């Protein structure tokens, strides 16, 4: 199995789940580092992958998405840049930002691959790696519901281990589970999400269209294109209530699916092979980092799951 980690989503989740009073010997918070390592240990133990990639947000708010929907993640911008090749700065606690390089150093010393691409969010990296995998089943680990669009029967099959409700309620979604939970097939999830909207991403959706109505519309008309065709046809079975709500949102519906959809092709830069290691890439460095930041227990939990020998670091 190939496991794909939505790393930014995981370390944000870990930061808010573990108290910032969790500090290292230097007195600075290491709550996100500890929490992320513990999450990775848990999901690797549960799924037993042989390959894994921690997928990076090299551009958390790509200009090409903002051009289509200017409100996309606009409420999360700490400072904007005029250069489309330079990502805007995302609003995040300093206590978290300072931990990300530490986490990446530890993953590198362990030997877990990271992957990223210019002008792409972690979701896009996951989308490309999942869509281009030809050998192993794929499991995506994320708390982002938009990644349900990638779930497929295969070959190879693609599932999402959804951790958005917390690790104790983590659930693996295959195509049947997506259909049962949302009332639409995974292939229709992008259009469903477009109608419903996502306030956390600055996507307004269609005013007055909730999850149930969105699912009903997708089930009846198949897609946004089918809904727009029905909207243009006065003799279509589109009811007057949804028609009145959809008409003012036409311009939004014509561009929003391209924002919600993750990329399926592109060039991903990998830090190393995605094969999970059985020994650390740099045992001395790993020992030093674990001691410096007081995260030895979390590192040991993860390396034990990976099968490292006790004296390897």
Query: Are 69 and 152 contained in the same domain?
Result: yes
**What is the predicted pLDDT for the residue at 32?**
98
Record the tokens describing residue 26, joined without a space. 């230097």
Contact yes or no for 66/253 (Cβ under 8 A): no
Query: Are 86 and 130 contained in the same domain?
Result: yes
DSSP for 93-134, written as a single string: -HHHHTTHHHHHHHHHHHT-EEEE-TT--HHHHHHHHHHH--
pLDDT surpasses 80 at 78: no
Q: To which residue do tokens 């990638």 refer?
A: 150
In a domain, 312, yes or no: no
**What is the predicted pLDDT for the residue at 4?**
98
In a domain, 60, yes or no: yes
Least confident of 80-94, 125-139, 224-238, 278-292: 80-94
Query: Are 145 and 221 contained in the same domain?
Result: no
In a domain, 61, yes or no: yes
**Spatial separation of the C-alpha atoms in residues 298 and 38, rounded to whole Å:** 6
Query: Are 284 and 273 contained in the same domain?
Result: yes
Range of the domain at 118: 2-184+263-306
Please compute the mean of the pLDDT values over residues 119-147 and round it to a whole number. 97
**Spatial separation of the C-alpha atoms in residues 278 and 284, rounded to whole Å:** 15
pLDDT surpasses 80 at 313: yes
Q: Residue 310's pLDDT band (boundaries 50, 70, 90)? A: confident
Query: Are 256 and 242 contained in the same domain?
Result: yes
**What is the predicted pLDDT for the residue at 77?**
86
Q: To which residue do tokens 């007195």 refer?
A: 27
Query: Are 82 and 192 contained in the same domain?
Result: no
> How many domains, the chain?
2
Query: Are 45 and 151 contained in the same domain?
Result: yes
Q: Residue 76's pLDDT band (boundaries 50, 70, 90)? A: confident
In a domain, 311, yes or no: no
Query: Are 279 and 207 contained in the same domain?
Result: no
Q: Residue 93's pLDDT band (boundaries 50, 70, 90)? A: confident
In a domain, 313, yes or no: no
Q: Residue 49's pLDDT band (boundaries 50, 70, 90)? A: very high
């Amino acid at each position: 199995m190939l496991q794909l980690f939505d790393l930014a989503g995981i370390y944000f989740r870990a930061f808010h789940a573990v108290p910032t009073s969790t500090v290292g010997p230097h007195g600075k918070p290491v709550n996100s580092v500890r929490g992320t390592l513990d999450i990775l240990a848990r999901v690797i133990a549960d799924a037993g992958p042989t390959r894994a990639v921690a997928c990076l947000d090299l551009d958390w708010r790509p200009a090409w998405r903002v051009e289509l929907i200017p409100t996309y993640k606009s409420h999360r911008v700490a400072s904007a840049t005029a250069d489309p090749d330079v990502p805007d700065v995302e609003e995040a606690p300093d206590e978290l930002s300072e931990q990300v390089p530490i986490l990446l150093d530890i993953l590198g010393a362990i030997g877990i691959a990271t992957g990223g691409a210019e002008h792409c969010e972690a979701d896009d990296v996951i989308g490309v790696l999942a869509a281009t995998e030809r050998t192993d089943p794929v499991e995506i680990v994320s708390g982002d519901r938009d990644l349900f669009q990638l779930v497929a029967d295969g070959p190879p099959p693609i599932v999402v281990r959804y951790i958005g409700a917390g690790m104790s309620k983590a659930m693996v979604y295959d195509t049947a589970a997506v259909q049962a939970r949302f009332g639409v097939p995974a292939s229709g999830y992008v259009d469903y999400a477009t109608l419903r909207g996502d306030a956390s991403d600055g996507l307004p959706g269609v005013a007055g269209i909730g999850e149930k109505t969105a699912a009903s519309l997708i089930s009846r008309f198949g897609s946004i294109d089918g809904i727009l065709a029905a909207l243009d046809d006065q003799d279509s079975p589109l009811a007057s209530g949804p028609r009145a709500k959809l008409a003012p949102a036409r311009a939004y519906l014509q561009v929003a699916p391209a924002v919600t959809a993750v990329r399926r092709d592109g060039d991903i830069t990998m830090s190393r092979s995605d094969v999970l290691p059985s020994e650390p890439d740099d045992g001395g460095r790993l020992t030093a980092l674990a001691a410096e930041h007081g995260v030895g227990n979390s590192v040991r939990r993860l390396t034990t799951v990976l099968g490292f020998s006790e004296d390897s670091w």
